[in-house]
A and B are shown apart, each in its own frame.
Chain A
Amino acid sequence: MMQTDFPALPLPWPTDDMAQQELAHLGGNPVIGHGFRKTLFPVITKEDVLQMQISILRNHTNSEAQFTEDYRNYVGAKYAIATASGTSALHLALVGAGVTPGDEVIVPCFTFIATAQAIVAAKGIPVFVDIDPVNYCIDVQAVEAAITPRTRAVMPVHVHGLPANMPALRQLCTKHGLLLVEDASHAHSAAIDGTICGALGDAAGQSLMADKNFPVGGEGGIAFFADEEKYKRARAFLEETGIDYSMSGIVAAFGISQLKRLPYYDAIRQRNAAYLTAELAKTGLFTGPEVPAAYVHAYNMYRIALHPAAVGLDDLPIHAVKGAVQELLVAEGVPAREWQNKPIPGHLPFQNRQGFGQGYPFTLSQRDFSEYSLDRFPNALKMLASTLTLCRELRSPVETERIQSYALAFHKVAARPDVIRKLATENTYPLPYERDGRLG
């Protein structure tokens, strides 16, 4: 029997009156019924199959090189090395840029753990700083305050696909003689003033795993370098260490054909995000991301802020309101989630700091690692307590009727502060960061 992810039935057409119906939590019909909730990703087409067959005929020998060149050219970076994962790409970007053992690398406390683990892989010391409360990316003033004579690089993360404040960070790095190394793992096609993320820093690493906006065949990544010296340093590192970080030709072949459709998928996400942001703005309780002028948000994820005061719930702890809202949205068929609940320095590998063994490379540093305590990151804690995230839900092939259904569900929940209040007061919702750390 053929195993396929092709949907059995289309999602029923949403109607405006759904927003006025009884909440699913109270026994009403959910906006998105059971059996219609799976978001398919990635979209795999006949072009992907044909490209794979071409790669097979060539014994996969040229696929990795072709993919690297095609995508490097798309991003506009000078040099690139395709890798087996995003983590290895970040590692290579740091090493190629010039990070050496014991160097401090300033990194946001809110990111995927791979960003910080890549610094440890480069035998550097992650120095975590708080995030900006509006764009959720690294706080530029916090970066400046964290610079020491041991600082070698700043590693911003374009969180969820919104570019960090790269002009300000570049100015800061130039002033202090620091390297600027991007983590562009959420930011495929994201840009500032037309320059795509990956080409903004001295080097960059990017995940291309199949859960990203731009997927290769399963697991993969790419490192970008702004000049030949950094590229050659990364190549020499691979030679000196014998590490095999290379991308499979099979994995690359999938990326060659996917890249040709990336602009189409980007347009779908932009359309869906614009629609949802406009609809959320009408609810009072919810708002979508704020995108500065000249910035392109890639919407790998879509973080939604809650405003309890707008519906008379500001007397309640905001994390309890969030917990109640999440429960109501999930009942309506909207996969609203936290996407992480604890700043990275609070995760076990950074509390333990065992590294490669015997505490290396942390033992190279004289820093007081009590700085890895969560209370030093108030903006991140506030964000985690007051926001929810959609992950795959804005991506193609999300149909018009699906994004409309999500918007209706947000309207439906926002219209019932009485139920939110009841849930928030009767149930126990611990603060997100007081639970065990989760990464997804």
Chain B
Amino acid sequence: MNNFQQSLVLTRVMTSGVVMSIEKNDRQLPGLETQLRNKVDRQYVALFNSVTGAIHAALHGQQIGFGGKAVFPRVSQREQKFLTWLGVGIEESTSTPRTYGKASVAWQDAGTTLDAAVAAVSHDKVQVLDFTELGFGPCAAIATNDEQIWKRAERLKIFGAFDLRTMWSQAESEPEIQPTIQFNYRLSPLVAACVRQAIQGNQ
């Protein structure tokens, strides 16, 4: 995406007046979610304001928290530090399916296209896609076909237990999904708009 396109996209969103993620009439976040759902062929996508937020959600969605264990063939030093902070142990194994697959999209070469990223995690139950390298700021997503994982992930990134879009209600609509620690991992619609355009422009 060139500077003119980026300028146009951001000006358009700012002119709409809707720059906040919890606005009911925000179009950018649902638009990016739909785009990614179609691309990764998974039913559920949740967006995050950082890759660590998305990793946290990928674990939390699978009810892996403090005292739990995640399985990977190998893990980066940064992920290791983050999982340690969460209190999640790491088992290095190639025989067990990994807890989540992670890939970055940067469009710097053939290995960092969205297609390449999607292919790299296509067999994973939970996919973590990192868009930070695109240059619009920290941005990541998780994708899964498991509705419960998605719901728990959404509840981690907002402060609600019921209305996942506007976050306000703590009503216990689904007692099997208890609200726990909650962070604000919400993505800005302005960043989402740029990622949307970048993905669209490179397809």
Contacts and interface: CB of A to CB of B under 8 A. Distances in A.
Interface of A: 2-6, 40, 42, 44, 48-49, 52-53, 56-57, 59-60, 84-88, 112-114, 117, 120-121, 209-211, 215, 217-220, 240-251, 254, 342, 347-349, 352, 354-358, 360, 436-440
Interface stretch (B37-45, B76-84, B99-107, B108-116): B76-84
8 contacts: A2-B15, A4-B15, A218-B187, A244-B50, A347-B170, A349-B179, A357-B180, A358-B66
B86 A356 contact: yes
B150 to A, nearest CB: 19
A331 B85 CA distance: 50
Contacts of B78: 242
Q: Which size class do B's interface residues fall under?
A: 35 or more
Contacts of A254: 14, 19, 190
Given A56-B3, A254-B19, A117 B14 contact: no
Nearest to A85: B184
Contacts of B132: 244
Given A52-B11, A60-B136, A219-B187, A121 B181 contact: yes
A339 B190 CA distance: 27
Interface string B71-102: 00000011111101111000000000000000
A42 B19 CA distance: 8
Contacts of B67: 357-358, 360
A117 B135 contact: no
Contacts of B188: 217-220, 248, 250-251
Contacts of B79: 242
B12 A52 contact: no
Contacts of A250: 10, 136-137, 188, 190-191, 194
A175 to B, nearest CB: 32
B66 A356 contact: yes
A440 B158 CA distance: 13
Given A243-B52, A439-B168, A44 B85 contact: no
Nearest to A63: B137
B138 A246 contact: yes
Contact of B85 (A219, A243, A357): A243
A85 B186 contact: yes
Contacts of A88: 183-184
A440 B166 CA distance: 9
Contacts, number: 207
B147 interface: no
Contacts of A48: 14
A251 B190 CA distance: 7
Given A211-B20, A254-B19, A348-B172, A113 B136 contact: no
Interface string B1-32: 00100110011101111111110000100000
B51 A244 contact: yes
A370 to B, nearest CB: 19
A358 B84 CA distance: 15
A37 to B, nearest CB: 15
Nearest to B172: A348
Contact of B65 (A6, A251, A356): A356
For the complex of A and B, 5 pairs with smallest distance between CB atoms: A357-B65, A248-B137, A218-B188, A5-B17, A85-B184
Given A218-B191, A439-B160, A439-B167, A242 B81 contact: yes
A348 B170 contact: yes
Contacts of A440: 166-168
B81 A241 contact: yes
Contacts of A113: 159, 170, 182
Contacts of A437: 169-171
Given A49-B11, A243-B85, A437-B170, A44 B17 contact: yes
B14 to A, nearest CB: 5
Given A52-B10, A248-B188, A249-B137, A4 B19 contact: no
Nearest to A358: B67
B58 interface: no
Nearest to A347: B170
A249 B137 CA distance: 6
A190 to B, nearest CB: 22
Given A219-B188, A349-B180, A242 B171 contact: no
B167 to A, nearest CB: 7
Contact of B7 (A40, A52, A211): A52
A362 B160 CA distance: 20
A254 B19 CA distance: 10
B21 A219 contact: yes
B143 interface: no
A241 B180 contact: no
B178 interface: yes
Contact of A242 (B27, B82, B172): B82
